[in-house]
Amino acid sequence: MLNLLTPRLIGLIGAFLCGSLLAGYVVGGMKDADLYRLKADHAKAQAKAESEARQRLEEAMHRGDKLAGQLVVTESALNKKTLEVSREVARLTTGRNCLDAAAVRLLNSPRNSGGTVPEATVQPDAEDGAFASDSDVAWWIANAQGQYETCRARLGSLIDYWEPATP
């Protein structure tokens, strides 16, 4: 009886091995197809992400160029306005003493001096001058206003650039 079971057992074992090999081949083919599909999907997603990033970069560059152009026009107009105001200062001021030497020295002192106010001396410093005229003060105000407006325009452009673009 052992002789009769042996060929059948060998046949069953052979069939099992052939079935296992065939199943491995089929599963391997399915795995390869899934891997190929996964790689294709990944390549498509990467191409889409690169395209979207390129589009966002181009939009940002376009928006930046537009804002930079507007800023150049604005700064030019502000510089022109400051120059016009400065010309009017010469016409409308008299050059009379407005601030004495101590006030000039106080206003010219460094801001990072720890809050100490320089003491008045009998002689003014050579760079401070003996006084500031109404013309000096008016020119300083005109210059400060021009610098402030230029800074405000630049900050406004930066804010506009970083705000989300509205369609």
Mean pLDDT of 74-95: 92
CA 55 to chain centroid, in Å, comes to 17
Give the C-alpha separation, 68 to 161, whole Å. Answer: 10
Under 8 Å CB-to-CB from 71, ≥6 apart: which residues?
153, 154, 157
Give the C-alpha separation, 133 to 137, whole Å. Answer: 6
Residue pair 133/97 in contact by the 8 Å Cβ criterion: yes
Residue 112 pLDDT: 59
Single pTM value for the model? 0.60
Does the pLDDT of residue 92 top 80, yes or no? yes
Quote the percentage of the chain above a pLDDT of 90: 46
Q: Match 């900050």 to its residue by tokens.
A: 155
